[in-house]
Amino acid sequence: MEFEEKIQPQKKPLMVLGTSSGAGKSLTVTAICRILKNKGEYPVPFKGQNMSNNACVDLNGGEMAYSQALQAIACGIMPSSEMNPILLKPQGNSISEVIHLGQSQGITTAKDYYKNWFKPGWEVIKKSLNSIYKRNPNCRLIIEGAGSPVEMNLIHRDLTNLKIANHLNANCILVTDIERGGVFAQIIGTLELMQPEEKKLIKGIIINRFRGDLSLFEEGKKWIESNTQIPVIGIIPWLNETFPPEDSLDLLEKKHRFTNPEIKVGIIKLPSISNFSDFDPLENEKSILLEWVRESQTLKKYDFIILPGSKQTIKDQIFLEESGLSQNIREYSNNKGNIIGICGGLQMLGTTLEDPFFKEGSKTYSEQKIKGIGLLPLKTTFFKKKLTRQVSAESLWPCQSKINGFEIHNGQTELDKIQNEINIKPIFKDLDLGWYKENNKGGTIAGTYIHGIFENDNWRDQYINLIRKRRNLPILNTKSKSYKLKRESIIDNLANEFNKHLNISEVLS
């Protein structure tokens, strides 16, 4: 076995492992990052490999998982793709796009990934770790694992759990979700499947999502500590989670927290949906109810509908046509409906989608050029190279305002001159970032390439007031609270709740 020198950080790294996917690792890391920041430390989040289509772009145009970007915000630092050196973006049928240090490296099947990408993946993880420590030698890494660390059929190819823990000699916390049931078996089974030297790295256990009287678990806590010789450092009560989950399927289980909403929004649930964090600012508006639309139906109950981003735009547009949702959307438009598409949603609202290099989900030559929904006179051609960048722009509609966001898309969109449409107008001074069109019968169809558009408070307020005016609802004259300030408040509340029930000092030394 080849000897590999381990990194010796100045401050002991913390690693959060889980007994399963969805145990609460991401939120736990987010909370610990803010707790340590508030204690005056310099925490830095890290996840060696993440699988998610919920991505964002750092200052250098590098793609990274949104969850690590959120954790960086909790640390009070700028997100960087080094914090998530490997991002796998699923495309269906066990195929994923591979992102290394923010840059696309191509696509692979799951089988080929484990065979061909293990060594280069480990090299890019080590490169990122070295770079982070070189730039911030006094930082404390807060590392998130992935899934379970003891998937025995894959453990020899697991890049992001115990291999990193061993490499950094990290103090590890094992998080388990009591809501799922079987919490004792989850803990004991996970620990028993570890090698003795790996088990020694586990310095604390967190019981997550506990409902009811915490004192009722005291006997359970004693049993766990007696049988594992590892302290239970926290029993975290059930919290009202307000962050986007890693998996878009989990998003369907989120329950709306507000009663008597004045505006109903329908979001089309595309099979290959991406960047669903775009809707968080709307979900935090008390007057708005968000609902997912998954099958053909009349849309007239919604005040506006959103076509979200897509990882496979051609594939998702074919789904919309075959399911009848495209026709539903056209009928909704004809009935004074308001529609906004973001990125792939913008592309689908156009007249033509062309995929000459099979980049966006087309499987046959007949699918390389298909019709869009046809509500905006736009045609999109997908090229080999993807555009990823942060954006600063100035909007012209529905108001003049400074806009910040980011682009992640494979495709160039331009006006379809064959349509000879004169009513379409640019949303921004930069003419390539979005367009809108007023319907003859009322309502607006709009589309933009800017992810995070609703995070811009003035733009969001003015768009919502546009909808309210058409509903004969009173205009909201007072500015809504800044979404970014709300997000800070949410992170603070999360950290405060964890801090009440978590003995973090137990695992810092």
Q: Among all residues, which ones are annotated catalytic?
A: 343, 451
| Residue 426 β-bridge partners | 435
Q: Is the dihedral of CA 446, 447, 450, 453 positive or negative?
A: positive
Q: Which two tokens stand for residue 230?
A: 């590892």
C-alpha triplet 228, 234, 235: angle, nearest 5°: 100
Inter-residue contact 398 to 373 (CB < 8 Å):
no
Within 8 A by CB and 6+ apart from 483, the residues are 280, 281, 284, 454, 455, 457, 460
Strand, coil or helix: what is 470? helix
| Beta-sheet pairing, 387-395 with 401-409 | antiparallel
Q: What's the 3-state SS for 44-62?
A: EEECCEEECCCEEECCCCC
- Residue 69: which residues within 8 A CB-CB, separation 6 or more? 56, 58, 79, 83
Evaluated on CA atoms 313, 315, 317, 323, the torsion sign reads negative
Backbone φ and ψ of 11, nearest 5°: -115, 135
Compute the chain's Rg from CA coordinates.
24
- Per-residue tokens: 277: 């964090």
Measure the CA–CA gap between 114 and 285, rounded to whole angstroms: 43
The CA distance from 483 to 460, in Å, is 10
Q: How far apart are CA 210 and CA 500, in angstroms?
A: 14
User: ∠ at Cα 274 (270, 278), nearest 5°?
Assistant: 105
Number of residues assigned to the chain: 509
Q: Are 467 and 338 in contact (CB under 8 A)?
A: yes
